[in-house]
Amino acid sequence: MIAAIRELVRGFSLTFRQMLTKPITIQYPEERREPSERYRGLHALRTDPGTGRERCIACCLCARICPSQCIRLVTSEEEDRKVIDIYDIDLGHCLFCGLCEEVCPVEAVVLTRRYEAACYRRSETILHKQDLLRHGEGR
């Protein structure tokens, strides 16, 4: 009987202590947690701030190194350089390993700290070039 009362008191004191501590949950989406500096989230394609041109030189190294083969590139020739016409990343297969960012010789593709990738349809898991450029705005 005494043991049961002791356990009851311990239980209530734990509950009471927790009531006085700061909650660890947040009211998403009104509140958003800031990911760490090293967080690898959704990809972005960067443009040159001076000229506004895409930094990508269509070398295809990112697609070649990707371990899950989830980058699809279609390139073409412009007058003075190669450009990408299609740059798709299938997030359903991406490991967020960051190898595409590491291998890129001109720092065109980067992983941002964006983490909101929920969607309703499977087709929406593919990021297209326009999405990637939008993610890269101001970077």
Binding residue for ligand SF4, selected from 42, 44, 62, 127, defined by CB under 6 A: 62
Stretch that binds ligand SF4, among 6-14, 15-23, 63-71, 126-134 (CB under 6 A): 63-71
- Omega before 105 within 30 of 0, i.e. cis: no
Binding residue for ligand SF4, selected from 42, 66, 110, 127, defined by CB under 6 A: 66
Binding residue for ligand SF4, selected from 92, 99, 125, 126, defined by CB under 6 A: 99
For 17, phi then psi, to 5°, come to -60, -40
In degrees, rounded to 5, the angle at the alpha carbon of residue 14 between the alpha carbons of residues 10 and 17 is 135
Binding residue for ligand SF4, selected from 9, 12, 32, 68, defined by CB under 6 A: 68
Cα→Cα distances 3→7, 12, 13, 16, 119, Å: 6, 14, 15, 20, 52
Binding-site ranges for ligand SF4 (CB under 6 A): 56-62, 66-68, 70-71, 89, 94-100, 103-104, 106, 108-109
